[in-house]
Amino acid sequence: MCTRGAILWLPPKTSIPSEHHPPADLVEEGCFNHPVLVLSVNAAETAVIVLIITSFGGTDLSIRHAHDTKARALHLPIYPSNAHPDNGMRLYLAGDQRLSKNSYIKIKPCRTIPTALLRPCKHGNFRLKTKSLQKLIKHMEFTDPWPKVGQVQQPVRAPQPVPKLPVAIHHPAREPISCASDYYMPGQWADDNRAVRASHIIPVHWVSPADRPARVYSGRERTPLLLPTYISGHEPKKDNSGSPWATFAWVIFIFTVVVGTAWYFKAFG
């Protein structure tokens, strides 16, 4: 019943039960015996913020406050009342309903009253259209002080500074080189590879020497040609300068020449 945009009845103070007199004493006398528009409901639905609705006794707004623009600015007409003479605004009820009298919503002041004081209207359940309610709230710059029923406002955490972490520089040349053995654990993949190895076994058939066929040699079989180990057309010369026999031969030759020369001078000299 008590929802935003609903129009309820605030009965005369004399008809309010005695148990609600203490909160009723806080409401101004001129607010009773009038319909009210609900702007907001607290989470417990024990209090509402309302605007008073008046009909001016059936008098049009432009006549009631013909020379007071400030008073006219505080009232917005509800259809089928005429549009506002200054700003052209007019609010509409949901379902094309109509109040029993041409009425106006007094946009100031907002009043907070206990929910228990309100009653449904005699001629039906009335409420503003959603667009008309939004238009009214925007025009009067109303800010809802209570969260919507069923919603809990979560605390907003202040942003925390991000700590600066030291940057580690890696030198690839100094890091050990990992190989496959570094990632192998004893027993790892044993069960998985056993089936793979079994599926890749190649059967081997052994043949005894007695069962082998005898090899037949033909005269046409050629002996493989051995290629020379040098590439050029001439055989390379052998270097015997370092051989011990060559040195011994030179010694004998020189000794023979010396002995022969000495004998010659001795014999013929």
What are the sequence ranges of the domains in the chain? 6-140
Q: Residue 209's pLDDT is what?
A: 61
Higher pLDDT, 197 or 263: 263
User: Dmax over Cα atoms in the chain, in whole Å?
Assistant: 184
Do the Cβ atoms of 9 and 113 come closer than 8 Å? no
pLDDT at 132 over 90: yes
pLDDT at 263 over 70: yes
Q: Residue 43's pLDDT is what?
A: 92
pLDDT at 227 over 70: no
Q: How does DSSP classify residue 101? A: S
Flag whether the pTM goes above 0.85: no
Q: How far apart are CA 82 and CA 24, in angstroms?
A: 34
Q: Which of 111-115, 129-133, 206-210 has the lowest mean pLDDT?
A: 206-210
| CA quadruple 62, 65, 68, 72: dihedral sign | negative
Q: Which of 7-11, 34-38, 105-109, 175-179 has the lowest mean pLDDT?
A: 175-179
Backbone angles phi, psi at 68, to 5 degrees: -120, 95
**Rg for the chain (alpha carbons), in Å?**
60
Cα angle: 47, vertex 57, 128; to 5 degrees? 45
Q: Predicted confidence band at 264 (pLDDT cuts at 50, 70, 90)?
A: confident
Amino acid at 78: I
Higher pLDDT, 41 or 195: 41
pLDDT at 45 over 80: yes
